[in-house]
Amino acid sequence: MSVTIEDLQRQVSDYLQADEVDRVLRAYDFGAKAHEGQHRLSGEPYIHHPLEVAQILANMHMDSQTLIAAILHDVMEDTRTAKGEIQRRFGKGVAELVDGVSKLAHLPFDSHAETEARNFRKMLMAMSNDIRVILVKLADRLHNMRTLDALPPEKRRRIARETLEIYAPIAQRLGINSIRLELEELGFAALHPLRHRILAEQVRKARGHRKEIVDRIRTALKRRLRQEKIRAQILGREKHLHGIYLKMRSKGLSFDEVYDMFAFRIVVDSADDCYRVVGTVHNLYKPVPGKFKDYIAIPKSNGYQSLHTVLFGPFGIPIEVQIRTREMDDVAEAGIAAHWLYKSGSASERSGAHKRAREWLRRIMEMQISSGNPQEFLENVKVDLFPESVYVFTPKGKIVELPRNATAVDFAYAIHTDVGNTCVGVRIDRRLSPLGTRLLTGQTVEVVTAPGAHPNPAWLNFAVTAKARSNIRHHLKQLQLDEAAGLGKRLIVRELQSHAASYDTIQPGQLKRVLDEYHLGSEEQLLQEVGLGNRMAPIIARQLLDDWAAAPPQLKPAGTAAPLLIRGSEGLVVNFPKCCRPIPGDPILGFVTAGRGIVVHHQSCTNVAEYRNHPDKWINVEWEAGIDGEFPTNMRVEVTNQRGVLAKIASVIADQEANIVNVEMKDKDDRYTTLKFVVEVRDRVHLAQVMRRIRALKHVARISRR
Q: Report helix, strand or coil for 358.
A: helix
100 Cβ neighbours under 8 A, 6+ residues apart: 122, 123, 126, 127, 129, 130, 133
Q: Distance between CA atoms of 129 and 142, rounded to whole angstroms?
A: 23
**6 counts as catalytic:** no
351 neighbors 134 (Cβ within 8 angstroms):
no
| Exposed e or buried b per residue across 314-343, where buried means at least 16 C-beta atoms within 10 angstroms of its C-beta | eeeeebbbbbbbebbbbbbbbbbbbbbbee
**667 counts as catalytic:** no
The one-letter amino acid code at 27 reads A
653 neighbors 703 (Cβ within 8 angstroms):
no
Q: Distance between CA atoms of 108 and 111, rounded to whole angstroms?
A: 9
Q: Report helix, strand or coil for 566.
A: strand
Q: What are phi and psi of 274, to 5 degrees?
A: -60, -50
Which H or E run includes 210? helix 193-227
Sheet with 618-623, side-by-side order of all strands? 564-566, 618-623, 588-593, 597-602, 574-575
Q: What are phi and psi of 635, to 5 degrees?
A: -145, 135
Identify the CA nearest to 172 among candidates 125, 240, 268, 263.
Answer: 240
**What is the number of other CB atoms lying within 10 angstroms of the CB of residue 227?**
9
* Residue 15 CA neighbour count, 13 Å, CB half: 17
**DSSP track, 654-669:** HHTT-EEEEEEEEE-S
DSSP 140: H
| Active-site residue, from 63, 77, 162, 630 | 77
**DSSP track, 512-564:** HHHHHHTT-SSHHHHHHHHHTTSS-HHHHHHHHTT-TTTS--PPPPTTSSPPE
| Active-site residue, from 7, 20, 63, 78 | 78
Q: Distance between CA atoms of 290 and 285, rounded to whole angstroms?
A: 15
Rg (alpha carbons) of the chain, rounded to whole number? 33
Which H or E run includes 619? strand 618-623
Which H or E run includes 580? none
Angle between the 48-59 and 64-71 helix axes, to the nearest 10 degrees?
160
**What is the number of other CB atoms lying within 10 angstroms of the CB of residue 73?**
26
430 Cβ neighbours under 8 A, 6+ residues apart: 444, 446
Q: Which of the residues are catalytic?
A: 77-78
